[in-house]
Structure 1
Amino acid sequence: MSFVELLARLGGMGRFQVTYVAALAIPLLMLASHNLLQNFTAGVPEHHCRPRPVANATPADVPLVVSIPSDGHRRPQRCRRYVEPQWHLLDVNGSASAVANGTATEAATEPCHDGWTYLDGIFTDTIVTEWDLVCESKKLRQVAQSIYMAGILLGSGLFGVLSDKFGRRALLTWCYLQLGATGVGTAAAPSLLVYCLCRFLTGLAMAGVSLNSASLCMEWIPTEARAVVGTINGYCYTLGQFVLAAAAFALPRWRQLQLVVSLPFFVFFFYSWLYVESARWQVTSGRADLALRGLRKVARVNGRKEEGDKLSEEVLRALVRREPPLPGGAVAALVRTPGMRTVSCGVSFVWFSTSFAYYGLAMDLQGFGFNVYLSQLVFGAVDIPAKLLSVLVISCFGRRVAQGGSLALAGLCILANIFVPSELPTLRMAFAVVGKGALAASFNCAYIFSGELFPTVISTGRRGWAWGAPWPAWGGWWPPWSAWRPT
């Protein structure tokens, strides 16, 4: 008898599993909020230099045109101002002739030494306005997001190793607490440095939540239900994008928004103490007595108490001995033969390219020139039909056609946007939405490929969940190495 068969005897996808999946899925609604948060907390409003003070005149008495040069679209330049007021530009005829002769642009200019004036609009209070992340400092905005993603990258490997040592439930509980605490810390950050540090720690915790939620979820449900559960989790992430758009619209101040999307993790932290640790991990870690207690609780909740009473610690140890070890480990098996090296490189490239393009689109909503709240809703909504369509294409035409077609369509849409001028925001948005939908479909295909192209002992390992299974459903960042190896 295998562990999967044991779960079937104890109720399969019973009441315990349904409740467990629901409890683990609720936090997924908030994962998208943190991943895509800087679309709103780091929005860039319209701005221009603060005019140079003029003697015997208040700023309100000095027209902007004499202090700030215009750009090619007759709007105030964002990062330059005149060294001296250009009073002659107040004369309509003089202004016209100056523009025609180019003398208006030849006047000496300087950077914004006195700061910036931010105009009222969609974004009125963001980290950009608070710490002046514009002009020479505009790259710091992208640096902050990169630091957050670096936390996710490091956390994927770190918490994968730690969960093998300390257990899935303990690490998940800790990550809930860390994410809530660092999210609140981010909302209270007094400087950009502290903000980036808190965001890095948030990224670490995000990776831990994703990895250990997936492990707990997949190790407690039967094999035949994993595809359905993965789809449910995927749509929870999609719904989370709607939650983010609504919260950002209701809370235009970045600190309030940061706080609201972080506080729910304290609730998740408290109810996570009710989770049952993975029995498979407990047995392989020499805790057969605790595993037996957990399995009997599952059997009792599922109405299979008699089956649970028949179990013993020796039966559980025998289940582990039946699972053959991988010579050299799963990581080595991925590159041992030419065929496996080809498969591993191909699947890895698909994951990288899909994730890179997906987040490149999803994290630059302001660049499409549309209302950012509407863009977030549309970008989230397109995932719903895209994932359904990918399942139909896979069923009718196979995996390769679906995977190659979705990547090709995404690539064409992204390339097409290069040649679409900014004066056509609707067309640019349409290409971006179709491209993101194609990438969402690519994630579904990559999930299936990852589970089917590798031998069972590699793709499932002793954890009992498909290699890479949580990642396409929960956002698509790179699967941690610990997901490839047996416990």
Structure 2
Amino acid sequence: LSLKDLLTVSIPTDPQQGPSHCRRFRHPQWHLLDPNVTATNWSKEATEPCVDGWVYDSSTFTSTVVTQWDLVCHSQHLKPMGQSIYMVGILLGSTVWGLLSDRFGRKPTLIWCCLHVAVTSTLTIFAPNFLIYCGLRFVSAFAVAGIVMTSTMLLVEWTPTPKRAVSMTILGCFLSLGQMGLGGLAFALRDWRTLQLAVSVPFFATFLANWWLPESARWLIIMGKPDKGLQELKKVARINGQKEAKKTLTIEIVLKRLQFSRQAFFTRKVVRNNFALWLLRDPILALSFRFSVTFSYYGLVLDLQNLGSDIFLLQVLFGAVDFLGRATTPFLLKFFGHRITIASSQSTAGFFILANVLVPRDFQSMRVVFAVLGKGCFGVTLTCLTVYRTELFPTSLRMTADGLLQAAGRLGAVMGPLIGMTRQALPLLPPLSYGIAPIASSFLLLPLPETKGLPLPDTMQSLEN
């Protein structure tokens, strides 16, 4: 018998008229070899689950977490659940590290998080089962949130107002380059453990390199440490080749700046006592709808398999378009401002996702084009939000507030893969949800204040002004 005949008598057909992945006949159905008998002429009672295991296609990857722990059939929901557990770690980490960074500083938080990620990510490759694997990924994600937040905040607080959009764009472009590099790395390393090790070890190097970074002088001054702030300012001036700054930067100038920081330190306590009421302000409420951006973003990028067979090329394409989209951000912010740029790019991404619903699956190239363009628009949105959200809060509470905003966004990242789990039962629900959510939430950004060209607020008074 040919392989086709063996499959016919051994494996029932699925709704797409292909061999079922999850059930087999209890006994060979020889009558199905009769050309006059249709493949549907069999009873469900004649089938049983594949109790002897599965054979996997290893042409793309030699080993994955799916093949490692058989995350198929009745266990196939564990894969998106594992992705959501990772996002829950980032969600909780965003809140915790935001508070700790405002309390102990940006630099110590960043250094500890890098070591945390390096150790826990490396230990992941030794996980004996999927439960421990998810636990280690959760702990690793918890610290990843701290790295993302503190590195961004250090860059913002060291950058002059006219160059803030450019510096955030450069940071975003490096994220896109990392995404492209991940596609190439996965192409070269087809075993999941080797790939996991390759992306974990560099964090040991960043842990050592971050000791060289200066602490945020703005945060030191606000916290009543002008001497240390002056020391960091002189260090950065020396790195930038500003030799005359050694004479012009004095404690008197810093103390003059401290007049504002004492007020900030006093209002910091007042604000913390009324933080629950302060959260009801328009910026927090509207930017909490960052949920919709990450909801659609991660729902799209974590499900590359539904867009085509060459996931390596898709990963690189996503990164390349993301890079180009982020690179245009300074020009868009300059001409249109923060609110219009965020709202328009977010809604455009939603329209591209909805357009994909209308494209038949046979037109795979067109589906990939729409998905890639939508990803590029999300890149613009996320870069703009990185600039915008830092300008809405005072220095003394910036990391705490940013942590809560990040948590709102990560809640969307948790829900994105979970909605993707409904694809088999309700095929249209995931794409419709991913498309409608950013379009609807974009209108909520329009009433917010425009902050283009304004300096970072250090105190509650400057924020009100």
For Structure 1 versus Structure 2, the TM-score category normalised by the shorter chain is 0.7 to 0.9
The size of the alignment, in residue pairs, is: 410
What is the letter of the counterpart of residue 87 of structure 1? Answer: W
2:114 is the counterpart of 1:180: no
Deviation, 1:405, is 2.9
Q: 1:386 to 1:286 in 2, by over 3 A?
A: closer
Partners of 2:22 and 2:49 within 8 A in 1: yes
2:142 is the counterpart of 1:200: no
Q: 1:278 to 1:401 in 2, by over 3 A?
A: closer
Correspondence for 1:440: 379
Partners of 1:281 and 1:463 within 8 A in 2: no
2:12 is the counterpart of 1:69: yes
- 1:81-128 residue CA offsets vs partner (Å, 9 max, x unmatched): 111122333x3xx1x32216x314656111122211112331331000
Bigger Rg over Cα: 1
Deviation, 1:305, is 4.6
Q: 1:464 to 1:295 in 2, by over 3 A?
A: farther
Partners of 2:116 and 2:143 within 8 A in 1: yes
Partners of 2:102 and 2:396 within 8 A in 1: no
Deviation, 1:449, is 4.8
Deviation, 1:389, is 4.6
SS at match of 2:38: helix
What is the letter of the counterpart of residue 108 of structure 1? Answer: A
SS at match of 1:116: coil
2:395 is the counterpart of 1:461: yes
Q: C-alpha separation between the residues in 1 aligned to 2:358 and 2:214?
A: 54
Q: Which runs of 5+ in 2 are unaligned?
A: 413-455, 461-465
2:151 is the counterpart of 1:220: no
Deviation, 1:203, is 0.6
Q: Which runs of 5+ in 1 are unaligned?
A: 1-59
Partners of 2:12 and 2:19 within 8 A in 1: yes
What is the letter of the counterpart of residue 358 of structure 1? Answer: Y
Partners of 2:115 and 2:204 within 8 A in 1: yes
Q: C-alpha separation between the residues in 2 aligned to 1:257 and 1:334?
A: 43
Partners of 1:148 and 1:199 within 8 A in 2: yes
- 1:352-407 residue CA offsets vs partner (Å, 9 max, x unmatched): 22221111111111111231001101111112332345555555555554334323
Deviation, 1:247, is 0.5
Select which of 32, 35, 38 maps to 1:99.
38
Correspondence for 2:271: 329
Correspondence for 1:293: 231
Partners of 1:334 and 1:344 within 8 A in 2: no
Correspondence for 1:86: 29
- 1:15-67 residue CA offsets vs partner (Å, 9 max, x unmatched): xxxxxxxxxxxxxxxxxxxxxxxxxxxxxxxxxxxxxxxxxxxxx99923322
Q: 1:448 to 1:210 in 2, by over 3 A?
A: closer
Correspondence for 1:119: 57
Q: C-alpha separation between the residues in 1 aligned to 2:175 and 2:273?
A: 29
Correspondence for 1:171: 109
Deviation, 1:135, is 0.9
Q: C-alpha separation between the residues in 2 aligned to 1:398 and 1:447?
A: 14
Q: C-alpha separation between the residues in 2 aligned to 1:137 and 1:300?
A: 58
* Range with greater deviation from structure 2 (106-115 or 399-408): 399-408
Q: 1:240 to 1:347 in 2, by over 3 A?
A: same
Taking structure 1 as the reference length, the TM-score comes to: 0.74
Q: 1:213 to 1:370 in 2, by over 3 A?
A: same
What is the letter of the counterpart of residue 235 of structure 2? Answer: K
- 1:208-246 residue CA offsets vs partner (Å, 9 max, x unmatched): 111111222222332222221111101000101111001
Partners of 2:169 and 2:330 within 8 A in 1: no
Q: C-alpha separation between the residues in 2 aligned to 1:202 and 1:398?
A: 36
Q: C-alpha separation between the residues in 2 aligned to 1:106 and 1:194?
A: 36
Deviation, 1:76, is 1.6
Partners of 1:352 and 1:478 within 8 A in 2: yes
SS at match of 1:215: helix
Q: C-alpha separation between the residues in 2 aligned to 1:402 and 1:216?
A: 24
Partners of 1:220 and 1:278 within 8 A in 2: yes
Q: C-alpha separation between the residues in 2 aligned to 1:230 and 1:165?
A: 24
SS at match of 1:81: strand
SS at match of 1:99: coil
Select which of 326, 338, 342 maps to 1:403.
342
What is the letter of the counterpart of residue 346 of structure 1? Answer: A
Q: C-alpha separation between the residues in 2 aligned to 1:174 and 1:168?
A: 10
Q: C-alpha separation between the residues in 2 aligned to 1:291 and 1:356?
A: 39
Taking structure 2 as the reference length, the TM-score comes to: 0.77
Correspondence for 1:3: none
Runs of 4+ in 1 over 6 A off after TM superposition: 463-467, 483-487
Q: C-alpha separation between the residues in 1 aligned to 2:291 and 2:286?
A: 10
Q: 1:447 to 1:175 in 2, by over 3 A?
A: closer
Q: How does 1:64-463 map to 2 (within 5 A)?
A: 64-89=7-32, 91=33, 94=34, 96-99=35-38, 102-104=40-42, 108-309=46-247, 311-313=249-251, 315-323=253-261, 324-325=263-264, 326=267, 328-329=270-271, 341-349=281-289, 351-389=290-328, 391-396=330-335, 399-447=338-386, 449-450=388-389, 454=392, 458=393, 460-462=394-396
Q: 1:178 to 1:266 in 2, by over 3 A?
A: same
Q: 1:161 to 1:468 in 2, by over 3 A?
A: closer
Deviation, 1:148, is 0.8
* Range with greater deviation from structure 2 (110-119 or 423-432): 423-432
What is the letter of the counterpart of residue 29 of structure 2? Answer: Q
Give % identity: 40
What is the letter of the counterpart of residue 72 of structure 2? Answer: V
